[in-house]
Amino acid sequence: MFDALWGWPPPVLDPAGPYADKVTVLAWVLLALGVIVTAIVCAALWVAIKGPARWKQRLGGESAVWIGGIAFPGVVLTALLFWGLTLTADLTDDITGTEPRIRVTGEMWWFRVQYLDPAGRVVMEDANEIHLPVGQPVVLELRSADVIHNFWVPHLSGKKDMLPGRTNLLRIQADKAGQFGGVCAEYCGGPHALMGFVAIAHQPADYARWQQGRMGRLAQVNATGGPGRQLFMESGCGACHRVAGTEANGLAGPDLTHVGTRATLGAGILPNHRGTLIGWIGDSQGIKPGNRMPSYDTLSAAELTAIAGWLEQQQ
């Protein structure tokens, strides 16, 4: 997530796809206009203080107020508004049915991710990570389960609010493979600053392989087992987490069916490996204070290791 917030060049000025390109153009134009207007104001100020008397008189007249104070900003801002809205209009284009569809729901303080088929049915559940093919627009259906959140991958598109009781569409596209950080860009209480995700763009062939692999695994019986699985169930993790093919079917927390392949943990904030899995389960409140998962400090190191080992197998 953190590479959505800083880096050089700044992520908003470093687009990796056509939708982000437009936002970047808008950003540069606004910056340029800001510089020009500041220069004009400084020049006028100079005239007012030190300029020749004739200039001062013209600047002090009523027409200067009408032109510089009302007509100029009125025309420039209206033109900017229309141009900006037209430029970015296709970010929210309707679903045509041919593009991959992903529903992303903001939850306090993580992202629920559901891959949809062309008919809009959920075919795969995931969390805190979206996978997309390079060079193709992807339509996101943005929702919220609680308060207002905001979905933002600066390298790939603009910002869009996630509102309770409403679905907002947003298109994103990556023109090169790689990982792009995303964040919640609307204060949503508590650990909002630690609410992120990653977008992972694959070359089309890799994307197809990824998709097949996932669907294949969902079609198989989940045969992973051992003490880790038993401990996971006995500790009640399944009340909040779903792992497809097991009795764990909770919905209050992120889906863990593919957690072993996740790039990050804790909603985009930690790398994902055995160590961070243990640390998260044992002390999630220390790492992300106020989040809605309790710290399991009563589980022993051996028990946590077994659970983490089983989660790593959930590919």
Contacts with other proteins, residue ranges (CB under 8 A): 269-271, 273-276, 278-280, 282-283, 286-288, 297, 301-302, 305, 308
Give CA separation, 65 vs 38, 59, 68, 69, 75, in Å: 17, 8, 5, 5, 14
- The answer to whether 257 touches 314, Cβ cutoff 8 Å, is yes
Which C-beta is closer to ligand HEC: that of 87 or that of 251? 251
Q: Which does 152 bind (CB under 5 to 8 A by kind): other proteins, Cu ion, ligand HEC, none?
A: none
Provide the total of helices (H) and of strands (E) in the chain, helices listed first. Answer: 8, 12
Instruction: Single out the residue of 56, 103, 159, 192 in contact with Cu ion (rule: CB under 5 A).
Output: 192
Within residues 273-312, the interface with Cu ion by CB under 5 A covers: none
Min dist CB 314 to other proteins, Å, is 17
Q: Alpha-carbon distance 217 to 204, whole Å?
A: 20
- Is the N-terminal amide bond of 191 cis, ω within 30° of 0? no
Min dist CB 126 to ligand HEC, Å, is 9
Q: Which does 291 bind (CB under 5 to 8 A by kind): other proteins, ligand HEC, Cu ion, none?
A: ligand HEC
Q: Which does 111 bind (CB under 5 to 8 A by kind): ligand HEC, other proteins, Cu ion, none?
A: none
Decide: is 188 part of the binding site for Cu ion (CB under 5 A).
yes
Which C-beta is closer to ligand HEC: that of 88 or that of 313? 313
Q: Alpha-carbon distance 255 to 246, whole Å?
A: 12
Q: Which does 184 bind (CB under 5 to 8 A by kind): other proteins, Cu ion, ligand HEC, none?
A: Cu ion
Which C-beta is closer to ligand HEC: that of 56 or that of 192? 192
Cβ neighbour number for residue 127 with a 10 Å cutoff = 25
Min dist CB 296 to other proteins, Å, is 10
Decide: is 108 part of the binding site for Cu ion (CB under 5 A).
no
Give CA separation, 252 vs 115, 139, 298, in Å: 18, 25, 21
Give CA separation, 89 vs 85, 151, 158, 246, in Å: 6, 17, 11, 44
Q: Which residues contact 205 (CB under 8 A, 6 or more apart)?
A: none
Within residues 138-157, the interface with Cu ion by CB under 5 A covers: 149
Q: Alpha-carbon distance 255 to 211, whole Å?
A: 17
Q: Which of 277, 253, 252 is nearest to 264 (CA)?
A: 277
Instruction: Single out the residue of 140, 156, 162, 184 in contact with Cu ion (rule: CB under 5 A).
Output: 184
Q: Which of 5, 197, 1, 238 is nearest to 110 (CA)?
A: 197
Which C-beta is closer to ligand HEC: that of 92 or that of 276? 276
Binding interface with ligand HEC (CB under 6 A): 109-110, 127-128, 232, 235-237, 239-241, 252-254, 259, 262, 265-267, 275-281, 288, 291-293, 296, 307, 311
Which C-beta is closer to other proteins: that of 213 or that of 271? 271
Q: Which does 110 bind (CB under 5 to 8 A by kind): other proteins, ligand HEC, Cu ion, none?
A: ligand HEC
Enter the tokens of residue 66: 């009408």
Contact footprint for Cu ion (CB under 5 A): 149, 184, 188, 192, 195
